[in-house]
Amino acid sequence: MSKILGSSSPEFYYKYRNLSPVSLKELLYGEIFFAERSELNDPYDTLVPYVFSADYGKYYRLLESVISIHFPKELANVKYIKKPAEYLSKTKLSYEELINKIDSKEFTDIFWIQMDNMKIDSSLIMEIQSLLKQEIHKYVASYFYVSSFSKRYDNPIIWSHYADQHKGFCMIFKPYNNSLYIDPLKNIDINGHPNSEMKKYEFRDVKYKRKIKGIDGFLNFSGYVNGKKELSQKDKDRFWEEYGESARAKYIDWKYEEEVRLIDFHRSPEVPDENGAKKRSQAERIFYYDKTQFCGIIFGTKMNDNEKNEVISTIREMRALLLKELEKFMLPPFVFYDAVQNPNEFKINKKFHLGLGVINEEFCHYHLEETNNYFEKNLKLYKKREQLSDSQNAELIDDFIKSTENAIKSFKDNKQSFADQNKLGIDKLVNSFENTLKSYKDQKQPFPDNIIFK
């Protein structure tokens, strides 16, 4: 077994899925879903631990700034603001506790008592409450959306938790520049024009911790609220660094997952209302990844043959569609494995099941190691697609033909180094490749998935 395919190798990342119509659709169209906090199985996950200190001056200036902008100037007076500011600053508060306190009857009553002499309508106090919450949401209400992967495929607990108790499957992804790129055909702007930069998400390690480190909730507010002329760049950098860390902090007991995740930070372009910032719809949280980075599947130990064949058929259809989309580009190999219980330790092994474009496990290392080369070449081709002439495209395809010819030569030269039972398979592989190469040279067509060996 190569170091590339070794257990828990960081060269690949693994995503666990239940078998369902939804997961089959995701396989077919190359979809990954970004979940928000309420959809995760850990209530602390992506929690931004804002702490609003018991600072009377900051609450006073916050109330003053909100009231002076939206209401008659006489309301922004110390005699009307002092008591509400004292009420809010009694103890330090979390984000949720602060909003709840502003909504409380006590807060309403305090304002009502202070303004009783002005004979104002009660709706004005409700409007102040609404605008105050809106102002707080504007500075601290934003969302993280995450998609989780693991560095491991061999931990039976992860299979139990995230792959329907071993009845699901595990997807194998090959990162490029430690990132997952967008499907190039989806990398377009609202007018349907290709974007100049390829969208991508970096794989970020989750950090496992014993304690929650609070973030100063006031730090992202204006300098005026913070009692400063202007916040220093150091203060701003500290806020955003701590804020970003909260998207990948989990309690230490989750460490067995060895999780890496894609993180999408979202601050709604719309001004928040009193209920907070607007969340993205589920449809907006689907990411269409570059399918050339999806290079294999491990079937759970409890998947039956019919279920496996259903997944294989879906991948065949996905790759057939991909060939049509790629046109003259290169389709990398794809490998299926069976998860197998290790008889000597509590660990999951994997056993070669089927390869699209590979002969057996001895060739898996060679093919999967080349995945980055496939991706890099395709990425360059995608970027140049609109500019390349047919002759230039043909030149690039010729380069690929030469590299394939070199691979065939290597198979022949190293035939003796393989076990006797594999030599016949090597001959079959070489003959099939040579026949396909002839067709490829004549028609400039990519290798089809009928080059398959069990």
In a domain, 398, yes or no: yes
b/e per residue, 159-194, with b = 16+ CB within 10 A? beebbbebbbbbbbbbbbeeebbbbbeebeeeeeee
- Rounded percentage of the chain residues whose pLDDT exceeds 70: 70
Q: How sure is the predictor about 428, in pLDDT bands with cuts at 50, 70 and 90? A: low
In a domain, 379, yes or no: no
Tokens of residue 197, six digits: 């930069």
What's the pLDDT at 242? Answer: 87
Q: Which helix (H) or strand (E) segment is 147 a member of?
A: strand 143-150
CA angle 155, 160, 162 (to 5 degrees): 95
125-139, 242-256, 374-388: which range is least confident on average?
A: 374-388
In a domain, 21, yes or no: no
Identity of the amino acid at 299: F
Of 84, 78, 62, the C-alpha closest to 138 is: 62
Mean pLDDT of the residues in the chain? 80
pLDDT tens, position by position, 318-328: 998 888 776 65
24-33, 66-75, 275-284: which range is least confident on average?
A: 66-75
Q: How sure is the predictor about 383, in pLDDT bands with cuts at 50, 70 and 90? A: low
In a domain, 444, yes or no: yes
In a domain, 370, yes or no: no
Instruction: Report the alpha-carbon distance of residue 169 to residue 300 in Å, rounded.
Output: 5
In a domain, 51, yes or no: no
Of 276, 369, 237, the C-alpha closest to 36 is: 276
pLDDT tens, position by position, 102-147: 999 999 888 777 766 556 666 778 888 898 998 898 888 778 899 9
What's the pLDDT at 451? Answer: 37
Q: How sure is the predictor about 4, in pLDDT bands with cuts at 50, 70 and 90? A: very low
Top mean-pLDDT range of 19-28, 350-359, 445-454: 19-28
In a domain, 383, yes or no: no
- 423 has pLDDT over 90: no
What's the pLDDT at 187? Answer: 83
Q: Are strands 294-299 and 334-341 parallel, antiparallel or unpaired?
A: parallel
In a domain, 430, yes or no: yes
Structural domain harbouring 397:
388-454
Instruction: Report the alpha-carbon distance of residue 120 to residue 116 in Å, rounded.
Output: 7
Could you say which DSSP state residue 219 is in? T
Domain count along the chain: 1
